[in-house]
Structure 1
Amino acid sequence: MKVLYLEDENLLGRIVKESLESRECEIDWFTNGHAAKPALESADKYDIAVLDVQLPGEDGFTIGQRLREKFPNLPILYLTARVQAKDVLTGFEAGGNDYVRKPFSMEELLVRMRNLVQMRKGGTASPAPDQPGDAPATAPGKSSSETYEFGQFIFDYPNLRLHFRPPGSEGLTHQLSHREAELLRLFVKLKGQSVIQRKRILLDLWHDDGFFNSRNLDVYVRKLRSMLEADPRVRIITLRGVGYRFVVE
């Protein structure tokens, strides 16, 4: 893994850098956003960004949000001593894919990093392109090469894109994060099912149904709703305490 790492505590930074390098990672370590500016501008060369939250100058959340806007597929992991749920939610809303609480073990950090990188590789693999003139017609609501049509949307799962295509308009394209795409694909596949259990979503996507992942799910549902509200016929309905329904009228 090639890792962009921001941590202002010199002792901790050195320990993490040396430990990860001993595990066949390549680490570019910076102590603040200003020093990391050239690396941040070309962060697509990294497999993952690991950001301490409490940095001098720009904090990790601000830097992470900027990275997410410029490099939507880059996995971002926050390191934080904050334990309040609102702080964790802030991190996810600022583009984070995961977080590790300080103090942490190197084993936990490495496992979480590898998981995010593996998910990114699995989520962005594109199918072989069709030859010109050979593209098959796709009926509404069906899938071809993991492309789904519902309402006025075309969901290109392999390329993490959601296209809104109303009649007579050029529409709009949203670039999704890997987790947003995974969640939307689950909803689409279970379209019309009376209940999509919340627990099932958490176990399928996070492999854990704990409190913080549950709050993370709330954030991603809100993000998807904001994209889907362009077509009122497409709705994610919350069934309190149970789960969701994905409805296309």
Structure 2
Amino acid sequence: MKAQHKILLAEDEPFLGKVVKESLEKQGYEVMLAPDGRKAWELFNEGGFSICILDVMMPYKDGFTLAAQIRQSNSKIPMMFLTAKADIKDVAEGYASGGNDYLKKPFSLDELFLRIAELLKRSTNDDAPQNETAIGSYTFLYHRQELKDSSQKIVKLSHKEAELLALLLQHKNNVLDRKATLLKLWGDDSFFNTRNMDVYITRLRNKLKGDASVEIVNIRGFGYKLIC
């Protein structure tokens, strides 16, 4: 199964890049290693990748810029950042650029393997919503990461916002469990990621505020409920 997956690894530290590449290959993955963001973009355009693993601080093109370019080209491919930067604003920027996960350096290879497996599992999940779904007077275009209101005005969503809204929609009018959501979309339920998810909930509320019949309600101690 793993042998079918091709990974784009962008890492400018030669030793780390070599170790990660060889370790992933031993797990059965095909890995293409790029030493900088510009080369990674060239490799990505050759196609065939199942997942992208991107360092943030790279020559020529940083990981956030590269991720945004990749996301414009491919709305579905999972992307993970490898970085020593861990401020909440950096993490938020990473998710806003289209990233799905964020692994802080130094990291264990076992954790990396688990994160990759989870992202690949999510990307092949058939439970994703239809491309166009009604949310009150809005139309949610999942694969385009957009909301369209009744006047046909388009509201852009980040990749993480679209994934979170999709989960809320799957549990419409029922409670979406906080811990399960954190594990699914962020990889763990730490306080840091809990705060981060709260930020995304606030953003979604603001983007849906044009229809008073649509609410995202906080169910204290349990999670959130999308009412529409």
Q: Is the 8 A contact 1:89 1:215 kept in 2?
A: no
Cα distance 1:201–1:30, how it changes in 2: closer, same or farther (>3 A)?
Answer: closer
Summarize the alignment of residues 116-135 of structure 1 with structure 2, pairs less than 5 Å apart: 116-123=119-126
2:189 equivalent to 1:184: no
Tell me how far 1:30 sits from its aligned partner. 0.8
**Cα separation, 1, equivalents of 2:88 and 2:147:** 33
1:85-139 Cα deviation digits (max 9, x unpaired): 333233222221111121222221111111101101105778xxxxxxxxxxxxx
Cα distance 1:84–1:150, how it changes in 2: closer, same or farther (>3 A)?
Answer: closer
Partner of 2:195: 215
Runs of 4+ in 1 over 6 A off after TM superposition: 239-242
3-state DSSP class of the match of 2:8?
A: strand
1:25-83 Cα deviation digits (max 9, x unpaired): 1111111122233224455x211110111112322122112222332211110001123
3-state DSSP class of the match of 2:39?
A: coil
Structure 2 length as normaliser, TM-score? 0.78
**Cα separation, 2, equivalents of 1:161 and 1:17:** 31
Runs of 5+ unmatched residues, structure 2:
none
Partner of 2:115: 112
3-state DSSP class of the match of 1:217?
A: helix
Cα distance 1:204–1:77, how it changes in 2: closer, same or farther (>3 A)?
Answer: closer
**Which of 210, 233, 237 is the aligned partner of 2:213?**
233
Q: Is the 8 A contact 1:47 1:75 kept in 2?
A: yes
**Cα separation, 1, equivalents of 2:154 and 2:147:** 6
Summarize the alignment of residues 30-45 of structure 1 with structure 2, pairs less than 5 Å apart: 30-42=34-46, 45=48
Summarize the alignment of residues 17-28 of structure 1 with structure 2, pairs less than 5 Å apart: 17-28=21-32
**In the comparison of the two structures, how many residue pairs are matched?**
224
3-state DSSP class of the match of 1:28?
A: strand
Partner of 2:226: 246
Partner of 2:97: 94
Q: What is the aligned-residue identity percentage?
A: 38
Runs of 5+ unmatched residues, structure 1:
127-144
Q: Is the 8 A contact 2:155 2:207 kept in 1?
A: no
Amino acid at match of 2:189: D
2:136 equivalent to 1:164: no
**Which of 194, 202, 210 is the aligned partner of 2:182?**
202
**Which of 40, 45, 49 is the aligned partner of 1:46?**
49
**Cα separation, 2, equivalents of 1:21 and 1:162:** 36
Cα distance 1:224–1:72, how it changes in 2: closer, same or farther (>3 A)?
Answer: farther
Amino acid at match of 1:151: G
Q: Is the 8 A contact 1:4 1:46 kept in 2?
A: yes
Cα distance 1:162–1:66, how it changes in 2: closer, same or farther (>3 A)?
Answer: closer
Cα distance 1:97–1:182, how it changes in 2: closer, same or farther (>3 A)?
Answer: closer
Q: Is the 8 A contact 1:72 1:176 kept in 2?
A: no
Cα distance 1:47–1:124, how it changes in 2: closer, same or farther (>3 A)?
Answer: farther
Partner of 2:10: 6
Amino acid at match of 1:86: K
